Structure formats: C-alpha cells, structure tokens
Chains A and B, each alone.
Chain A
Amino acid sequence: MRANPSDYEMIAPGSLHATVALMASEPGTWLPIAGGTDVMVQYAAGNLRARRLVSIWNLPELRRVEVTDGELRIGAGCTYTDLRQHPIVASEFPLLASAARWTGGIANQNRGTIGGNIVNASPAADSLPALLVCEAELILVSARGERRLPYVNFHTGYKKTLLAPDELIQTVCLPRRYASYISHSRKVGARNAQAISKVCIAALGWVANGIVEDVRIALGSIAPVPLRLRETEQALTGRSIDSASLLLARKTAMAEVCPIDDIRSNARYRTTVAGNLVVEFLNRLGPGRSHEPAGAEDTSDNNVLERWNRLPIEKATGAILPCCGSKAWAQKMSARRPISNEDSLLVASNEVWRSLAPPDWMEAFQSHPRIGESKAAQAYPQSVAWSAQEQRGVTDDSLSVKKALADANREYERRFHRIFIVCATGKSATEILSILQHRLNNDAETELREATEQQRQITEIRLRKWLQG
C-alpha cells in the first residue's frame, strides 16, 4: 500500500555537525536519506519503517573529493555522476568508473551516492566489489567523533553493517597503489542500465615474468555480502597462468561462492558464471599479456592498450592523436577507456569518427601531406612516418604521373577547399590519379562523405600499427 506523507517527519539540518548532533540526540530514530534511490522506493511501496528522516543530500562536507599522494578520499555523498566525472577515478580506478556507469540510468546516477550504496548493503551493488579489491577504508562519523576501519569488515551479514545507530559514513578512502595493476570488471545482467546484476566481478592483478605476484578478486550477488574470493586468490598467487591454474581457479571460485535462487537468477547459474568470470579475468592476465613494472619495454599488442588505458587522460589523448589527427576524436577515444582489445578499439574509433562535426574532420584531413608530398599543414612526428609508409607506392611512379597528380590535387583543392584524402596504403600513383579524377566529379556532399570514409580507413590502418608498438 502506498505511504501517506503525513505519517512522516523530515528535517534537513544543512550541515554535517547539525546532522550528527540530531542523530546523537535520539540514536536509531533518524534515518539518513541522501539521493533517495533506495529509501524513496521503500517509501513509495509503503515499506519504509522509519518515520523520521534526516536529509543529508548535498551536504557540502560529504560531497567533495580530496586527492592526496597516497589516496583518493571520496565524500560519502558523492553521486555516481560525480565519480564518473572525476579525472582520478577515470584514470586510476577504472573498476569504480565502470561500476558507476553500470549503476541505474543517468537520473539515478545523478542522485545515488557511494555512501548510500554501501549503507544500503545490497549484495548485488555494482560498486562494492570494486571497493573490496582496492582495499578501501571507511571513515565513520558521529557526535562522538570519527573512526576509520577497513571496508572489507563493514558488511557483517545480509544487509547488516558495522554502522552504529548514531553514525554516518563520511568518507570512502581508496589507496592509489593499485593504479598500475591490470583490472577487469564485468556485469552479468539482463542489461547494463537499470538492471540489477545476476553476478558482477571486479578484479586486479599483477603478473611479473609470467608469475602471478598479486591478485585480488571480488564478486557481487553470489553471497549475502559482496565477497572477496580469498581462497581463489591464495590458490593463484605464485603460479603461472596455464590450463592447470585456470582449472584450479574455476574450481576454487565455484566452491567459495554461496549464491541463492531469486527472481533474477538461480544459484547454479550464478556459480557457473562466477567460475567463468574468474577464468575470463585470468585470461586477461594470461601468458603473453603479463606486464612488467613501469618503464620496462614491452611491445605486444595488448600491452600498448593496457598501458594506454592507464594513462592520465591528457597523455592518452596525445598518444592516440597521430592515428587520426582530430583532437576531438582523440579526446573522445580516451574518454572511452578502458578499451580491452583491437576489435573494441576499431569499433569505438568508427563510432567516434562518425559522430564528429565537419571542423573536426577537417582537422584530421589537414594532418596529412598532399599526395605526392611529405609535409602536412599540421603533422605529428609519428604521423609523418606513417604518411611516408602509406604513400610508398606513390613515390615509385614516373615523373609524368606525378605531374598529373600535382595538377589534379590543385584542381581538387580549388573545387573542395581542402586537400584530397585517400587511403593510399598499397595504391600506386596511377591508381590514385584515376581515383582522384573520378572523385573530382562528385558533388560537395558526396565528396565529403567519401573523404571521411577514406580517413576512417587510414585511421583504422594506423590504429593497427599503433597497437604493434
């Protein structure tokens, strides 16, 4: 039955100090409400037992992020949107950034808070495994003072926590020491937005010389609380990643979880998926994909991406820029990290490229030299080298063809007011000349479409080279 608002009292004290004073005056009476994404749902269904609420939404003391050398201190009142938009979360805590992206939809991310998610203590919450693997600590506050404790001990049973009746979570502290670990997360649910996970994983790993040095794995929706898989972690540490260790990890993980049957899934499915997710994570860590401490050279495909995924956003943008030449493209690509493999990288590139506006396309075109020349209006060192490789076929042709190409280039620029763009890789000057003469017949709109398609192909080829290091 629907609740009657006249049965409820609610106060917004406006400061943290006044809030904890109120809670201390009648411990256990006042239920804190922040963004209301859980409390208001219970209220609407007539299931909210508390009759007196204290609003902590938007309390300035709870809605700030502090960055120190050693840790990120996130105010418990920060929303998922706040987390998604914070540059350090994006660059150093990809597990938390993905979890924030997968929680609810945009409107819920604008209201739901990290502190609320922890206190609501749903074993299915997407962000909690991410906090577990990076050894988060909580600062709790009450009129009696503050105390700091490891998050891993906070959940004591289904929807039970260590929070005293007069206490609030003030800050979530995340150590920055795992920023260079390989990270892996996945939500298995009916869909990412809105749906609650059937199973979700967050994991961090460090492999050196093919040996697992450190691994930390947490799962959601497979136990009464978000769970660290300590036994699985222990079984893997010190081993190389091979079929025997994958088998062992799957078996240990499946024995370690204790899920239930409910409306979203059943225990058997969840147990199987838990094993699959652990194996999927290990495959990311696996042979040929291990990474060395920062500074060591390693040129395999995946390591280029892994390294790029971990760069601060400005550096990542600069690193990928020569593949295309458009700054907007490079920024949007960096914002889409982490990108796990070549296929996803190419799909993302195509999508981002098509979404750009004509001035961005123009910027990319200008980073190429005119066909037959070597100097672009606006080039990056790496793109000069790539342009030379791409145009290798052109340099081998006769002088008369080169002359005709130069004339046609001029004609093209006069008609379309930009340089002629063609994916030159593998094409001779004669072939390019005939393509160019054909394209001179296009109307402006068709030709712009053609040029952007050619640039898309060039970018794709360059991304593949880039992945090779």
Chain B
Amino acid sequence: MINSRAGYGKIEISFTVNGEPKKLRAYPMERLLDVLRLKLGLTGAKEGCGEGECGSCSVLMNGVLMNSCLIPILQAANTNIQTIEGLAAENSMHVLQQTFLDYGGAQCGICTPGMILAAVQLLDRNPQPTTEEIREGLSGNLCRCTGYNQIIDAVAEAARRRNSA
C-alpha cells in the first residue's frame, strides 16, 4: 500500500529520477510532467497537447515509454523515471542524440526529447527495426518541422552504429 489515506492534501512521494533518489510533497493528482518541470527543474519533457496525443512529454517509467502528462504523481511513487536529461553519459552523447544531430532529426526541438526517448525504447526492444517498425515505434510522437524522414533516418543509423559497435 503506497498511501493509506491521502485526504485532500499533499502527500510525500519518493521516486528515482535519472538515477537520483527524490523525495517531495505533492497533491496525488499533480501530473508527473508538472512535477518534473516545476518542482525538479527538468524542462526536457515538454507539454504539447496535454492529452496523450503528441508524445512531447514522453518519459520512461521503469524503462517503459509513457506520456508524463497522463500520469498522476501518485502512480509514479517508487518508480524509476528517466528523462532526456539522464540520457547522455558524462561527456558523451547517447548514440541517438548524435544521429539526430548528424541527420537533421531536430529542428525546433519541442518533439525531440520525446522522439528520442521513444526511439530509445524501440531500439531496446527491437535492435534491428525495419523502416516500418521505426515509423510505428514513433507513431505516437508528432513533429511539425522535419517531415519525419530525417528522424527515421537518424533512428535507422543509430541502430546500425549500435549493431556494428
């Protein structure tokens, strides 16, 4: 039992964000997106539509891609959250960050954090996706700049670099 009786008040939430344990007080229905951006200063996840249509608020919860705008913070208690800020290691970019740069996969940047996290989950589950599988894996993430082809090329290239590494 996470919390026996919350009442109409704030509760204490413990969870891990990008490997760091966090403890904070919040109303249980506060959205994970707002907690990340406003309470923890992690502004990588963006609010696009606020209703699970655009994917720009995507994060990984226990390694699984989710829209943080649809997660009440109570449901994130005791989980592991990964945001775009936690992706790069010390001084080197994640391979997907590098290929997005190399292939022009990012323009205005609003969709990019969610797009990259969706690609992270895709390649975790399917290291050699076909183009069709890449399109499907990213189908919940909308981009209004690139026309998608550069993004798809970037993900395909990341898969190749990983497999040949």
Contact = CB atoms under 8 A, between A and B. Distances in A.
B67 A108 contact: yes
Interface string B61-87: 000111101111011010000000000
Given A18-B1, A40-B31, A57-B75, A11 B140 contact: no
Which of A33, A41, A81 is the most central at the interface, judged by chain B CB atoms within 10 Å of its CB? A41
Nearest to A191: B139
Contacts of A10: 6, 28-29, 72, 74
Given A37-B52, A41-B70, A107 B31 contact: no
B138 to A, nearest CB: 8
Interface stretch (A143-151, A351-359, A389-397): A351-359
A35 to B, nearest CB: 8
A342 B6 CA distance: 58
Nearest to B28: A10
Nearest to B139: A193
Contacts of B130: 332, 351-352, 354-355
Q: Interface extent on B, as a size class?
A: 35 or more
A25 B7 CA distance: 16
B97 to A, nearest CB: 20
Interface string A40-74: 11011100000001010110000000000000000
Contacts of B141: 105
B105 interface: no
Contacts, number: 129
B12 interface: no
Contact of B140 (A7, A15, A53, A104): A104
B139 A194 contact: yes
Nearest to A14: B1
A110 interface: yes
B49 to A, nearest CB: 9
B7 A9 contact: yes
Given A8-B27, A55-B75, A355-B128, A36 B70 contact: yes
A5 B6 CA distance: 13
B112 interface: no
A416 B77 CA distance: 56
Interface in A85-117: 101, 104-108, 110-111
Interface size class of chain A, counting residues whose CB lies under 8 Å from the partner chain: 35 or more
A106 B30 contact: no
A55 B75 CA distance: 7
B63 to A, nearest CB: 10
A11 B128 contact: no
A36 B6 contact: no
A301 to B, nearest CB: 23
B102 interface: no
Contacts of B65: 106-107, 110
The 3 closest A-B pairs by CB, nearest first: A105-B140, A193-B139, A10-B28
Interface of A: 3, 5-15, 18, 33, 35-37, 40-41, 43-45, 53, 55, 57-58, 81, 101, 104-108, 110-111, 191-194, 328, 332, 351-352, 354-357
17 contacts: A5-B31, A6-B27, A9-B6, A12-B74, A36-B71, A44-B31, A53-B29, A55-B74, A57-B75, A104-B140, A105-B140, A105-B141, A106-B136, A107-B55, A107-B65, A355-B133, A357-B163
Given A36-B70, A58-B75, A110-B65, 20 more contacts: A3-B29, A8-B29, A9-B6, A11-B4, A11-B28, A12-B77, A15-B1, A35-B70, A37-B52, A37-B70, A44-B51, A53-B28, A55-B75, A106-B122, A106-B136, A107-B55, A107-B58, A111-B70, A355-B133, A357-B128
Interface of B: 1-9, 26-31, 50-53, 55, 58, 64-67, 69-72, 74-75, 77, 118, 121-122, 128-133, 136-137, 139-141, 163
